[in-house]
Amino acid sequence: MRKLTKIIFFLLLCLNAHAGDSWTKEREKAKSLITQEKLAREVSFLTDSICQGRASGTRGSVEAAMWIRRKFEEAGLIGMTDSWTHGFNIRHGLNGRNVIGMLPGSKSIPCDRYIIVGAHYDHLGMLEGKMYPGADSNASGVTAMTSLAEMFGAMRKMGKIYSSNIIFVAFDAKEFDLKGSEALWNMIEYGRLRNPLSGETITRDKISLMVNIDQIGSSLAPINKDRKDYMIMLGTSSLKRDRRDLLHRCNIEEGIGMDIALDYYGSENFTKIFYRLSDQKVFVDNRMPAVLFTSGITMNNNKTWDRTENLDLEIYQKRISLMYHWIEKML
């Protein structure tokens, strides 16, 4: 029976692939959902005083987590736990919560392959009576992730079938030694992460890629000084060559034309360091394919003036579009 299910699923995928350009219109419709105005509005919510800078364990963190859950639900994701969250201990007296949802590749015929897309939603919070809003760090990454969930969700609603499920994770406690991504890895390692449809345990061998998005909204640290439309992807050494080359192909074929760097400003040492400073680190340490998308560190990071108005919304939107096309090619 299981073999027959796989054959049917393969045939459905072939029909999807045979449709080819017939999905172009639907793809453009999905992308049209993510406007610059919408990106600004959603980043502005996460940086509003109601979220208090999103420090772990605060009321503002709860508000942000509830907002992310609503965005996941609206996109058609399914909660990976009954509450959509997974709680964990950060330190004595302080707990964190990851928000986790899954978009099935197909609801009718379950598939057993997974891609993880994540971004941390915590920030510095209130320090000495001042709020650190964290627009670029990392409301930009969270909104990029929820935008991807919305686009892929729209494609699924229009009938598109994918060969992999996508797990979307909003990590808490990045500012506490990456405790949130460590908690997710422990769920995987100890067999506690399960497919909410089939109930099957999601083991590490079923996960083909982890994509992390951290600080993706600025154009203040260009790779080349005359190009503000840039994006950095670190971790290509963990990918097969065809997946690495695919980003450049999508950049050209989809007419996006970003200035792409696969290292951190040409420095091998800084590339190695920066690659291990965000939530992909635990996956890298466990020899899993993992990449980081970023626009780099700027003078606004971890400052009280890291606000929505300092993001480059046009470039930010283009980066999300490129990530969408790249990930979709691998599904």
Asked if residue 76 has pLDDT above 80, the reply is yes
pLDDT band at 7 (very low <50, low <70, confident <90, very high): very low
Q: How far apart are CA 265 and CA 259, in angstroms?
A: 12
Per-residue pLDDT reduced to its tens digit, 24-49: 999 999 999 999 999 999 999 999 99
The residues, ordered by sequence, that sit 6+ positions from 157 with a Cβ below 8 Å of its Cβ are 76
What CA–CA distances, in Å, run from 69 to 149, 253, 285, 289?
11, 34, 29, 26
Buried b (16+ CB within 10 A) or exposed e, 96-109: bbbbbbbbbbbeeb
β-bridge partners, 267: 264
User: Helices 313-329 and 24-32 meet at what angle, rounded to 10?
Assistant: 140
Determine the Cα–Cα distance for residues 82 and 76; give it in Å rounded to an integer.
15
Q: 210-266 pLDDT, tens per residue?
A: 999 999 999 999 999 889 999 999 999 999 988 989 999 999 999 999 999 999 999
Place of tokens 């099957």: 200
Residue 246: φ, ψ to 5°? -60, -35
**Quick check: 1 pLDDT over 80?**
no
d(CA 156, CA 168) in angstroms, rounded, equals 15
Q: Tell me 129's DSSP state.
A: T
Hey, which residues does 201 pair with through a beta bridge? 194
Domain boundaries, the chain: 22-329
Q: Which pLDDT does position 8 carry in this prediction?
A: 43
Please report how the helices 36-46 and 313-329 are oriented relative to each other, as an axis angle in degrees rounded to 10: 100
**What is the pLDDT at residue 107?**
76
For residues 257 and 282, what is the distance between their CA atoms, to the nearest angstrom? 32
Tell me what pLDDT residue 12 has.
Answer: 46
| Average pLDDT across the chain, whole number | 93
Angle between helices 313-329 and 241-253 (to 10 degrees): 130
Alpha-carbon distance 286 to 303, whole Å?
33
CATH number of 22-329: 3.40.630.10
In this prediction the pTM is: 0.93
Q: What is the DSSP letter of 31?
A: H
Q: Does residue 60 contact residue 53 with C-beta atoms inside 8 Å? A: yes
Read off the pLDDT of residues 84-114 as tens digits, 9 standing for 90 and up: 999 999 999 999 999 999 999 997 777 899 9
Model confidence band, residue 11 (pLDDT cutoffs 50, 70, 90) = very low
Q: Which amino acid is at 73?
A: E
Structure tokens at 231: 């994006």
pLDDT for res 21: 57
CB-based contact 264:232 (threshold 8 Å): yes
pLDDT tens-digit series, residues 126-151: 999 999 999 999 999 999 999 999 99
Angle between helices 140-157 and 59-75 (to 10 degrees): 20
